[in-house]
Every structure is written in C-alpha cells, then in structure tokens.
Amino acid sequence: MPRLDPTQIHCEILTFKEGFLSALGHDLRLAVTGAQIDVQEAPLAITAVFDAASIRVVGPQSGGALSDKDRAEIERNIRDTVLESARHPQIRFVATTIEPVGDGYRVTGQLELHGHTRPLTLTSRRDGPLQRATIALQQPDFGIKPYRAPLGVIKIKPEIRVELALPWPPRP
C-alpha cells in the first residue's frame, strides 16, 4: 500500500477576511505541513490524516509580508483557538467511493474535523504528474467559530478553501 508523506503532499488553506476594518487584515494562504495519505490500490481506497497543529502561515494571498511576530500569533490562534488542536489533534478523511471522471476522480467520503464528521465530495483533475482538487468548507459545519479580532472589526469568513495536490499514481 503506497503512503504519501508530507514531502509529497501539497495542502494549502485559503482564508478570506471581512468586517469593518478588513482592509487592515489579509486574506491568508496557510500550509498544512504534517500529513500522510495511505492509498490502497485494489479496490482503490484513500485515508488521509492531517496534523491540526502543523498549519503554518505562508503569507498573504495577494503579496505583501507579515512580521515573524504576526505569523506566530496567527499560527497560535489557529492552533489554540480556532482548531483547538490539543483537543482535536487530527483532521481525517476516509474515502468511501472513488470514481474516475475524465482525467481525474470523483471522491466521496467522510471528513472528521474538530470533533465533527461530515460527508465530503471532491473532484480532482490531472495536472501533469499530480492530481489537484479544491474543496470549499464551511467552518461552522464542523463546530468551528471563524476567527474574530477583538470587537469583530476584522474576522475570517466562514468559508475557507482547501487546495490539495498529490502525485498520481502514488509509488510505494
């Protein structure tokens, strides 16, 4: 059974700001640096586990920079307040159905995030040696309160996007 490790998995999370002073904040690009994906070849099955405490700030989506202090504060807020990774250390996806669709796959399964399990369907597409997928998630569906700065002057929208790319077919 092939196992993909963090060096092979590209997983980023895109967040979007809103609120009265949102012009002072940033739409962020975050990277999940701790993950493994196990692939069973026959029948095709996938189990993915992501370390909730391994999310790191890549930077603002539209360029610009953040100070090391701001990066550390954002990562701490994500880990401790938003995802509560001490209580919910893993994000887990188990595929129940995988069907070829064009040059990609339609994958249906269960996503466990923040102590809540919900059905999830995604469609991937081939991009050279990779399969890529973008998934929109509503944080409240998983019991997550989107981050809010004091007084709610800057907050993160409930919807985030997850971008995933992995080599396909995986090698043992």
**E-strand stretches of the chain:** 3-4, 10-14, 17-18, 28-32, 35-41, 44-51, 55-60, 90-101, 104-113, 116-123, 125-127, 130-138, 155-156, 159-167
Listed by start position, the domains of the chain span: 3-167
Torsion angle of alpha carbons 166, 62, 50, 105, nearest 10°? -40
Architecture of the domain whose range is 3-167: Beta Barrel (2.40)
CA distance 170 to 38: 9
CA distance 156 to 137: 13
For residue 153, the model assigns a pLDDT of 72
Entry pTM: 0.93
For residue 152, the model assigns a pLDDT of 67
Q: What is the pLDDT tens value at each position of the chain, 172 positions in all?
A: 799 999 999 999 999 998 776 666 789 999 999 999 999 888 889 999 999 999 999 999 987 789 999 999 999 999 999 999 999 999 999 999 999 999 999 999 999 999 999 999 999 999 999 999 999 999 999 999 998 877 667 789 999 999 999 998 877 6
